[in-house]
Amino acid sequence: MTTCPEAEDPHWLDPAERAAWLALTGILFRLPSALDSQMQRVAGLSNFEYLVLAMLSETPTQTLRMSQLAVISNGSLSRLSHVVARLERQGYVRREQGPADGRSINAVLTDEGLAKVVATAPGHVNYVRHLVFDGLTEEQVASLEQIGRSILERIDPGAPFDPAAVARLAP
Amino acid sequence: MTTCPEAEDPHWLDPAERAAWLALTGILFRLPSALDSQMQRVAGLSNFEYLVLAMLSETPTQTLRMSQLAVISNGSLSRLSHVVARLERQGYVRREQGPADGRSINAVLTDEGLAKVVATAPGHVNYVRHLVFDGLTEEQVASLEQIGRSILERIDPGAPFDPAAVARLAP
DNA sequence: CGCTAAGAGTTGAAGCGTCAAGGATCCGGC
DNA sequence: GCCGGATCCTTGACGCTTCAACTCTTAGCG
């Protein structure tokens, strides 16, 4: 992101690319809002807060250290710190010292937090399915994955793709 | 968005869908940040601010009424109002009464605003090409458009897809 | 052993978006 | 001709994210 080609070469998008770009930016603006407002309405959570809880819930011990949690939930450490502070205030998460490294802090999902995820997840999945997958063929789903991976690889070369894979690295 | 199926039916995503969903959420989180920070760095503008200026510049008279501009730049009217206020302070945009309807306000791109777009657009397009299109085949580009349209149609049924088409409706 | 550099996490301030409220103008029925 | 509702836009407050310090800890190196 720091080094990138910005050579001025007015080489515009062709019509097919332009159409695709329009569709992509439309998604970029509208899908997060849709997810956020549904989540806010039915669970009183932001989409990112839910994601943090969900990631914790998918781990064997409901525990993840902050820096890992930040990566797999696609957020900065600073953002996560603020969010976990809020979630802790609401009783969904608890923070404790990691045993090995004196610098590390583990976020732990509380029972209430787990209950919240269990209560919220099905509706969330249904909504995602309704907005995205119900309208796509199998081939399109496969294509979407390939396209997404390609773009992600270009934004952040060598970045981990699957959150679960990152979580499994946990000590 | 107000009415949607939330019947609790724990019908999870299959592996292919899950992989696609991971890729899509990755894009949803990371692509906007990447675009925003590049735009901030090279032009001192947010991506949304740039979009507003760009939409105005593509219009024959560099003029669009606020409500239309809000739609084609994928934002709420309130957001646009704040943003145009900032852009006006910077001298890139001017606001004037629409002649026909006493309620309508036209946003007009100033000469400085046009110059800003002209200076910024090539680098932006190159960056978009670099992040997105350089990694995709023709078939994938076509597929991306279809997928995007499908999702957008489901988020907001009957919404206009092509900004240019909306702009052409301008009186 | 110190001593410096790098990593982990937190904090506070500043900026932006959303939401709810409000003022202004237009339209439709009576 | 006028009153009620709808449309267009703005405003202010609040909440969240980012950014830039800052603290505390660990690792490397002489």
pLDDT digits (tens, 9 = 90+) for A20-62: 999 999 999 999 999 999 999 999 999 999 999 999 999 999 9
Q: Any atom of strand D under 7 A from CB of B81?
A: yes
Q: Any atom of strand D under 7 A from CB of B114?
A: no
pLDDT of residue A100: 79
Read off the pLDDT of each residue in B115-140 and give the average, rounded to a whole number.
96
Read off the pLDDT of each residue in B11-32 and give the average, rounded to a whole number.
94
User: Closest Cα partner for A123 from A35, A20, A63?
Assistant: A35
Distance of C1' in C17 from CA in B43, Å: 21
pLDDT of residue B26: 94
pLDDT of residue A2: 39
Confidence of residue A98 (pLDDT cuts 50, 70, 90): confident
pLDDT of residue A147: 97
Residue type, position B87, single letter: L
Does B147 contact A140 at a Cβ distance shorter than 8 Å? yes
Calculate the CA A78 to chain-centre distance.
15
Mean pLDDT of chain A: 89
Distance of C1' in D8 from CA in A104, Å: 52
Is residue A143 within 8 angstroms of chain B, CB to CB?
Answer: yes
CA separation for the pair A72, A163 (Å, rounded): 5
pLDDT of residue A163: 66
Q: Any atom of strand D under 7 A from CB of B66?
A: yes
Read off the pLDDT of each residue in A57-79 and give the average, rounded to a whole number.
95
pLDDT tens per residue across span A109-150: 999 999 999 999 999 999 999 999 999 999 999 999 999 999
Q: How far is residue A126 from each of residues A35, A123, A130, A169, measured CA to CA in Å?
A: 11, 5, 6, 30
pLDDT of residue A7: 47
Alpha helices by DSSP H, listed for A61-137, are 66-72, 77-89, 111-131
CA separation for the pair A44, A50 (Å, rounded): 10
Poorest-confidence range of A69-78, A125-134, B70-79, B158-167? Answer: B158-167
Residue A63's φ and ψ, nearest 5 degrees, are -135, 140
**In the predicted structure, residue A3 carries a pLDDT above the cut 60:** no
Read off the pLDDT of each residue in B19-28 and give the average, rounded to a whole number.
95
| Residue ranges of B 45-104 with Cβ closer than 8 A to chain A | 51, 74-75
Task: Locate the chain A residue with the closest alpha carbon to B51.
Answer: A25
Query: Looking at per-residue confidence, does B170 or A28 come out higher?
Result: A28
pLDDT of residue B171: 45
Contact B87, B52 (CB under 8 A): yes
Distance of C1' in C3 from CA in A102, Å: 20
**In the predicted structure, residue A64 carries a pLDDT above the cut 60:** yes
Q: How many CB atoms lie within 10 A of CB A102?
A: 7
Contact B117, B65 (CB under 8 A): no
Is residue B150 within 8 angstroms of chain A, CB to CB?
Answer: yes
Confidence of residue A11 (pLDDT cuts 50, 70, 90): confident
pLDDT of residue A6: 47
pLDDT of residue B99: 81
Query: Cβ neighbours of residue B167 under 8 Å, at least 6 residues apart?
Result: B55, B58, B59, B64, B68, B72
Poorest-confidence range of A77-81, B2-6, B145-149? Answer: B2-6
Nucleotide nearest to B40 (CA to C1'): D18
Confidence of residue A67 (pLDDT cuts 50, 70, 90): very high
Confidence of residue B157 (pLDDT cuts 50, 70, 90): confident
Q: Is B62 left (phi over 0), alpha (psi -120 to 50) or beta?
A: left
pLDDT of residue A101: 87
CA separation for the pair A107, A83 (Å, rounded): 11
pLDDT of residue B36: 95
Poorest-confidence range of A8-12, A61-65, A80-84? Answer: A8-12
pLDDT of residue A166: 61
How many percent of chain A have pLDDT more than 90?
80
Does B154 contact A123 at a Cβ distance shorter than 8 Å? no
Q: Any atom of strand D under 7 A from CB of B64?
A: no
Read off the pLDDT of each residue in B42-60 and give the average, rounded to a whole number.
96
Does A20 contact B150 at a Cβ distance shorter than 8 Å? no
Query: Cβ neighbours of residue B81 under 8 Å, at least 6 residues apart?
Result: B66
Q: Which of A5, A34, A138 sits opposite B126 (nearest CB)?
A: A5
Q: Which of A9, A22, A126 sits opposite B162 (nearest CB)?
A: A22
pLDDT of residue A140: 97
Q: Any atom of strand D under 7 A from CB of A102?
A: yes
CA dihedral A32, A38, A41, A46 (to 10 degrees): -30
H or E stretch at B106: strand B105-109
Mean pLDDT of chain B: 89
Within 13 A of B96's CA, how many CA atoms are on the CB side?
Answer: 11
Q: Which of B10, B136, B147 sits opposite A150 (nearest CB)?
A: B136
Does B21 contact A132 at a Cβ distance shorter than 8 Å? yes
| Residue ranges of B 152-171 with Cβ closer than 8 A to chain A | 152-156, 161-163
Beta bridge partners of B63: B108
pLDDT of residue A53: 98
